[in-house]
Structure 1
Amino acid sequence: MTFQNEEMRYEQLFRVTAKFHSTMDIDAVLEEVIHTLQDVYPSFSYTLFLAHDNTNHNVIPIKEIQHNVNGENPAVMQAFVTGFVQIEDRIAEKQSVLYAPLKGRQGIYGVLQINAHNAIIFPKSEIQFIELLANTAGNAFENAQLYQQSKQLIADLQLINDTSHRLNSNLRLTETMTFMSSQIKNSFGAMEVGFFMYSKDSLEVLLGSTPFFENGEGEEFVTFSLRKILKEKEPLFISDLHSDATFQNAIYRSMMSVPMVQGNEIIGVAIVLHESPYYFSFDKFKLLQSLIHHSSLAISNSILREELEKLVITDYLTKLYSRNHLEDMVQLSMETDAYGTFILVDIDDFKGINDTYGHQVGDEAIVQIANLIKDNIRDDDIGARWGGEELAIYLPRVDMQTGYAIAERLVERVATYSNPKITISCGIATWNKENKETFQSLFHRADNALYRAKQSGKNQVIASENRVC
């Protein structure tokens, strides 16, 4: 076996050192180490053992260090732990194997294994050169790794800052959660993202979660996560769900679950899934915790703000909308729609109900009718408490014929299902853009129709166009 002369070796060392100082790419550093060694010792074979997750490289033979002294190659671990070159002289095989640690200022990042074939003993000068090259590479590797970590840290901080800034801009809850879901999918590579609000009585999936959670397919992940988090008071980081008997056939294998906390109370949980095992790094797990921690207050504030807004426009007894809100919605409909129908509802002989059964039963009767209204209108329709025993319904983009049928059905169902038995009368009026009507005129026509229904026998519907049933 022959070696290059000392001058040539150190020229190579000078060149590779200059290359190390010109790059912050870890793969480029590793490639340069191998190329330099192949130039200096073309007959040797090389393997890099690394302690981090850079074992997938198309050019360099890289293995992960097994943290076990009794593992596959104890000499690798010995060089890694001690920081000193280890040499095995395999006389029978006519081979020497040298293990050089890649040392930086802050730690040891791996071990370079060099197999010298047809050589019994490494000359001391060669050992010194390889050790110097390995130390130079270790420092370069450390610098590149620190640079990559700093870049990632800056990106993570930017993500948290951008998210916090956006969440503090008074977004609606759905907008907040949709934004959060998008941020997590883009930054973490997540396939499924779910947000859930928790109380002792209920668990609610928030809009903005991916369809997998919204349609209930992810229920077992949610139940499992919440039970663990409530019991252990810690977030969950599971690299492979198949290790748990509950999820042996699950399509998703990597999971992170982080509680949303307000004060000292768990108010919800965020769940992130991917189909590949070991997909999320521990750094990503810590980042998710930070992201959820910074966003929990904004999410809670969005919920409280919308609950307060709903209270302002909701009647406390019936949980229908308030009169003012219905008026606002009719005005908006008149600006944006082509037509609509307004129904005014009054309980027949309501004073007699109060006198016979008491005011509490009277209130219960109003609530019964309110519930029947909710059951018989669409999500876009508006049911409201108009005042006292009067209720109202507005049906945007509904014509007279359809509105009349809805009012008739309501009259029949109140008479059938109310307890104690009560009846209602309805006055109905329709508007369209051609008539250029105001809400006040629409209301007066429905009110006049209701008056005629009362005067002509009650328990019926009368339309403002003089139609009587």
Structure 2
Amino acid sequence: MKKSGCTILKLQTTRYQYLIIFLLSLLIIMGLTLCALAKPQFTEEELDYIAQSDVIKAASLDGSAPHHYTDSYGNARGIAIEVLKEISAISGLDIEYELHDSSSQITSNNPHLVFGVTEDFVSPTTTLTIPYLRSETILFVNSSVEPQELENKRYAHVRGKGLPDDIREENTIYFDSREESLTAVNKGNADFGYTNPYSIAFYTLQNNYRNLISIPHGREKRDYAIGVIQEDPILLSILNKTIASIDDKKMQNLILYMASNIEHKLSVQSIFDAYGSQIITITLLTLTILLVLVIKNNQINRNLKLQNRRYEMLSQISNEFLFEYSIVEDLLILSDKFKRIIGLENYSGKEVNKLHDALRKLDDKNNQMFMIKITTPSGVPKVFKVHYSRIEDRRGHAISLIGKLVDVSKDVKEKEELLTRAQLDGLTNLYNATTAQTLITKRILTKKPETTDVLMLIDCDKFKDINDTYGHLKGNQALENISASLRQTFRNTDIIGRMGGDEFSAYIHDIPSLEFILSKTEELRNSITLANPDFELTISVGIALIRNEKSFESAFHKADHALYSAKNSGVGKTVIYNEDEGTNPIRTNDSDPAVNLPQ
């Protein structure tokens, strides 16, 4: 049975040879009343019982070392455990043993046997085997108690065992195990108790009891046996024969081994007793080193503050804002000039903490610059370039950062505007051809297979006539009006661009149906007509349905093919590229503005 144990320091038993000699002498004086037969002679009935029996469950209370207890690894051990193993090996019975914390747990598990018990422990329905161990009773008292004056003293008693005749119930304190009762008396939570010499010797050495006095007592002898809970004469006979057959010398060696194989629990007191002088020396040395480090750290901080003050004075005449970040104290100090310029005198919210957090997370020694965006209390975003240097102690450990913040908001804004202008068409502010192609390619590559997208190419019909008749300014105005109609007709998430001249593109993602895109085409035509009342402006539209396309070029080729067919069919036509028409994929219908080819 596995149990969690406290940390135990196992010491060599050679330090306790006197204990072994004492136990050996005690056993010789008491004598072991076990018979020494070569091998038990089982009857045919008993042999059949052994052959047909299932697992026999045996149980007992934990914490009664060295008779039966759980070691630091959660294994059941003890004299009784070894006796059960011997019985199993000699007789052939399959015995499974467990240790429990209380008698009620033993009862609830319905075992066949209880082991390591004496006559006062078992119920009237339990039959005991012949004893495998006999010992006398030992009185143990707290060192502050006079052994001759035990009347009305607190008696430590293990639950499940009968009270001695001279002990009153009102003076009794109950414990679940022998170890708990010994520990209570050692701590003064109880005054005295009775046990066997093996247990008191075992636990005294294991737990380093210092307040226990043990005295041989002329009370009853204790016979340790195995109890058969339900009437089972055949099982009882097998157990008796097996116990009687165990050699006295083997039993004696087993008892001595288990009684002396002690795991010593590690405690503060035991450590201090063994290494007290070394601990004091190390503690004093550690405190001295810490004191020196604190003094050195204070000196460094004073020097850093002086340097920071010098830098701050220099910053007053420059366009830079100084800061200091103490890694040791996790403290960020900003210059007054920085706070004043961006309005942070009384502002210490999350925006300021952005810089603090960024400095706290720095771990790249080679990188000494990064960018950070801070929004002022008035809502104005500012971008700062942060330059910093590490200050290290003699061991190479970074203890602080000193640096400057340079306001590059204007430069960043100009770069962003240049980048935006580079992506947009100068006249219409739609995406230029290069940007449109890049965005459409990205969408095609990431499109889900089950969705249908559309690439639409739009070309103005007879746009040259408008330029020739009304002039290029009117023509440019018409192009701007078309771009406005495109924005108005399609979604913000769609990709709209000017491919060049009077040709535009619109990439519409995830269309619900072909009718949807055709209705959008007509909506676009109507919007363009309303936006250009001074002249008639019509458009031709080529549409490619994007289902399994892998590249922009393939999709553009199909849409361009459809646009070419629409232009050749007259003005104001819409043609959809048909995947299923083989060598002649384009169909037009002069009676309808759009040809509704496959969905």
Common fold by TM > 0.5: no
Q: TM-score, normalised by structure 2?
A: 0.32
Q: Which has the larger radius of gyration?
A: 2
Q: Which has the higher contact order (CA 8 A, sep 6+)?
A: 2
Name whichever structure is richer in helix by fraction.
1
Q: TM-score, normalised by structure 1?
A: 0.40
